[in-house]
A and B are shown apart, each in its own frame.
Chain A
């Protein structure tokens, strides 16, 4: 198996799907000769040309909306929104239209589009540093994918492109350089399936995206202290595969939900509620949550780093839960 970065895995997925299916095309800001703000599409313009790798104006509404219309018209668009912050400008298109069409018109047609976007931060201050997946995950009709490994990034992007429904595909800027093994060949990871990334018997950590990597790091530290954490990677936030979470908590009797978002009204609130309802009799302690501190993310490096959740915060939360 080749060891590649998440950035490379994503590019492979795009390239392979473009070769496989003429209907697949890319559109977005600076994805052409510039190569993408985070270099995910670098080289694809040179290989496929401007008809299939389309630079767009800085107009997120029509990027998402034209992709949606093209999907209705039988194409398989993959639109890139430079960062998830700008995806707020696509909410009318995605939430009011793409999420609704299949249901609202009685199942007559579907919207097979992918909207890729990068979450993340890096001293970019409040408007460029948000973790907003919960906004999209709120809507029935949308699918929300947030992988945290190279293999999942490649396999799930390929699955998203082949999917009949609108998929919000979230990447994380701090993960683009993360390396890992990716199987050769036409490797597809189905959407809507949570995955046990680490087996353990003392506690269950539920997570996804960047915090998967932080949780894996935390688990190593905890293992040195004799604590074996089981890590359930949600990977898809909607439709949510909660069964592996509940089964794990029934085994470990302790649950910590770890996300990068603000916890209030967040994905981790939903997961905590599900665990509390469906595994209540198995819990030896209240469900704990780890997330960002509830402020707009500041520019100053020390403030920024302090506001974000890290592996050490996971370690602290696990130990508090087990105490």
Chain B
């Protein structure tokens, strides 16, 4: 077990200096799993993009491609009972959390077998059995849900934390400040996980935020924070482990800023004319999947071993797409289902003919 690899991972301390880790490197099986999950995210989304361009998927399709290290590094530092709330770029988080990929693709296709029975689509993946409480599509509006879940955990003295993913854009919104303030005031077990991909849709962070080191915004509520290399799953993992330990011990919230870059436009409908292609190529040189792949090679995996993993993902992708294609659309008769949870009030919901 090498600590050097984690140092190499480039985690930054709160004051920006490199920090030598005491933590052991994840073992080979773990790294293999992470690699496979990141490949699955990328291939899942590439297939979704094709289906979108064929008109089989509607609405918006925001791809996570390029940011896979954050979902993998962060979510594997949580326990299954810990809550996750996320934003509309939610495919990666859902896949790492273990939501059924077939039902996720079926949701994108708007099918009855989807995780939300075709009611939510790309931006609203959820599975309560995985404590995955949804992707949400209102920027910064969903942070409160994680604060509330943490409040519930604190009230019942359950040993669980809530993690909320959001983008740099959320940190310019008023609800963000309300959430940080209350979470710190009440010492709630919530981890604010900011995926700073440096663009709020098509607007660069320099044109939207007065503070470019986004994690410094946590200071206004006296919340501990750290900036980390979001292209490096190991660095993210270590930072989140540290945050989780801090939060579990009752000290209150923690804020992590993971620096990253999306490889695609804001959504598949975005031709991405506003970013410098050279800068994108620079970021791609730090690709999260390639980084874990080379670690696996260092640990003795051959190209053939890795090709086998890739082939296994391809096999799975075929099954995923086939399931979504073959699934039925929701029946029209179910339109009004789930308007209310109380049966007698649901019974009052009728077509407004």
Residue ranges of A at the interface with B (Cβ–Cβ < 8 Å): 25, 51, 54, 56-57, 59, 61-62, 64-75, 77, 92-93, 96-97, 101-110, 112, 140-141, 143, 163-165, 190-192, 239-241
Task: Collect the chain A residues with CB atoms within 8 Å of residue B337's CB.
Answer: 103, 107
Task: Collect the chain B residues with CB atoms within 8 Å of residue A141's CB.
Answer: 339-340
Q: Is the Cβ of B345 less than 8 Å from the Cβ of A93?
A: no
Q: A57-B182, A62-B147 are in contact. Are A108 and B128 (CB under 8 A)?
A: yes
Q: Is the Cβ of A25 less than 8 Å from the Cβ of B182?
A: no
Query: In this assembly, does B269 line the interface, its C-beta being within 8 Å of a C-beta of chain A?
Result: no
Q: A74-B156, A92-B175, A108-B128 are in contact. Are A69 and B147 (CB under 8 A)?
A: yes
Q: Is the Cβ of A72 less than 8 Å from the Cβ of B149?
A: yes
Task: Collect the chain B residues with CB atoms within 8 Å of residue A70's CB.
Answer: 148-149, 151-152, 155
Task: Collect the chain A residues with CB atoms within 8 Å of residue B83's CB.
Answer: 73
Q: How many residues of B contact A (CB 8 A)?
A: 51
Q: Is the Cβ of B120 less than 8 Å from the Cβ of A104?
A: yes
- Complex A-B: 5 CB contacts under 8 Å: A69-B152, A73-B152, A93-B141, A97-B141, A107-B337
Query: In this assembly, does B126 line the interface, its C-beta being within 8 Å of a C-beta of chain A?
Result: yes
Q: Is the Cβ of B138 less than 8 Å from the Cβ of A72?
A: no
State which of B114, B155, B340 has its C-beta within 8 Å of the C-beta of A102: B340
Task: Collect the chain B residues with CB atoms within 8 Å of residue A96's CB.
Answer: 138, 141
Complex Cα–Cα for A280 and B174 (A) = 49
Which of B115, B138, B148, B337 has the largest number of chain A CB atoms within 10 A?
B148
Q: A75-B152, A96-B138, A239-B349 are in contact. Are A69 and B124 (CB under 8 A)?
A: no
Complex Cα–Cα for A239 and B115 (A) = 27
| Min CB gap B99→A, angstroms | 12
Q: Is the Cβ of A106 less than 8 Å from the Cβ of B115?
A: yes
Query: In this assembly, does B213 line the interface, its C-beta being within 8 Å of a C-beta of chain A?
Result: no
Known: A59-B181, A62-B179, A192-B345. 5 other contacts (CB 8 A): A72-B133, A97-B144, A105-B124, A140-B349, A190-B344
0 or 1 for each of B141-159: is its CB under 8 Å from A? (1 = yes): 1111111111111011000
Task: Collect the chain B residues with CB atoms within 8 Å of residue A163's CB.
Answer: 342
Q: Is the Cβ of B151 less than 8 Å from the Cβ of A73?
A: yes
0 or 1 for each of B187-212: is its CB under 8 Å from A? (1 = yes): 00000000000000000000000000
Task: Collect the chain A residues with CB atoms within 8 Å of residue B342's CB.
Answer: 163-165
Task: Collect the chain A residues with CB atoms within 8 Å of residue B50's CB.
Answer: none
Q: Is the Cβ of A75 less than 8 Å from the Cβ of B144?
A: no
B337 to A, closest residue via Cβ: A107
Q: Is the Cβ of B117 less than 8 Å from the Cβ of A106?
A: yes
Complex Cα–Cα for A64 and B144 (A) = 8
Complex Cα–Cα for A73 and B342 (A) = 18
User: Majority SS of interface residues in chain B?
Assistant: mixed
Task: Collect the chain A residues with CB atoms within 8 Å of residue B115's CB.
Answer: 105-106
Complex Cα–Cα for A68 and B152 (A) = 10
Q: Is the Cβ of A62 less than 8 Å from the Cβ of B182?
A: yes
A159 to B, closest residue via Cβ: B342
| Min CB gap B82→A, angstroms | 12
Q: Is the Cβ of B341 less than 8 Å from the Cβ of A65?
A: no
A274 to B, closest residue via Cβ: B352
Q: Is the Cβ of B149 less than 8 Å from the Cβ of A109?
A: no
Complex Cα–Cα for A67 and B150 (A) = 11
Complex Cα–Cα for A72 and B127 (A) = 13
Q: Is the Cβ of A104 less than 8 Å from the Cβ of B119?
A: yes
Complex Cα–Cα for A105 and B341 (A) = 12
| Min CB gap B273→A, angstroms | 30
Task: Collect the chain A residues with CB atoms within 8 Å of residue B120's CB.
Answer: 104-106
Q: A62-B179, A165-B345, A241-B348 are in contact. Are A107 and B148 (CB under 8 A)?
A: no
| Min CB gap A126→B, angstroms | 23
| Min CB gap A64→B, angstroms | 8
Q: Is the Cβ of A69 less than 8 Å from the Cβ of B146?
A: yes
Q: Is the Cβ of A72 less than 8 Å from the Cβ of B178?
A: no
Task: Collect the chain A residues with CB atoms within 8 Å of residue B338's CB.
Answer: 102-103, 106-107
Q: Is the Cβ of A59 less than 8 Å from the Cβ of B182?
A: yes
Q: Is the Cβ of B126 less than 8 Å from the Cβ of A108?
A: yes
Q: Is the Cβ of A61 less than 8 Å from the Cβ of B119?
A: no
| Min CB gap A164→B, angstroms | 4
State which of B114, B118, B178 has its C-beta within 8 Å of the C-beta of A57: B178
Q: Is the Cβ of A102 less than 8 Å from the Cβ of B341?
A: yes
Query: In this assembly, does B167 line the interface, its C-beta being within 8 Å of a C-beta of chain A?
Result: no
State which of A75, A97, A191 has its C-beta within 8 Å of the C-beta of B136: A97
Query: In this assembly, does B292 line the interface, its C-beta being within 8 Å of a C-beta of chain A?
Result: no
Task: Collect the chain A residues with CB atoms within 8 Å of residue B280's CB.
Answer: none
Complex Cα–Cα for A281 and B140 (A) = 51
A109 to B, closest residue via Cβ: B128
Task: Collect the chain B residues with CB atoms within 8 Å of residue A239's CB.
Answer: 340, 345, 348-349
Query: In this assembly, does B185 line the interface, its C-beta being within 8 Å of a C-beta of chain A?
Result: yes
Q: Which 6 A-B pairs have the closest CB atoms?
A: A69-B148, A65-B144, A73-B152, A110-B341, A106-B117, A107-B338
Query: In this assembly, does B66 line the interface, its C-beta being within 8 Å of a C-beta of chain A?
Result: no
| Min CB gap B268→A, angstroms | 21
Q: Is the Cβ of B340 less than 8 Å from the Cβ of A68?
A: no
| Min CB gap A210→B, angstroms | 25
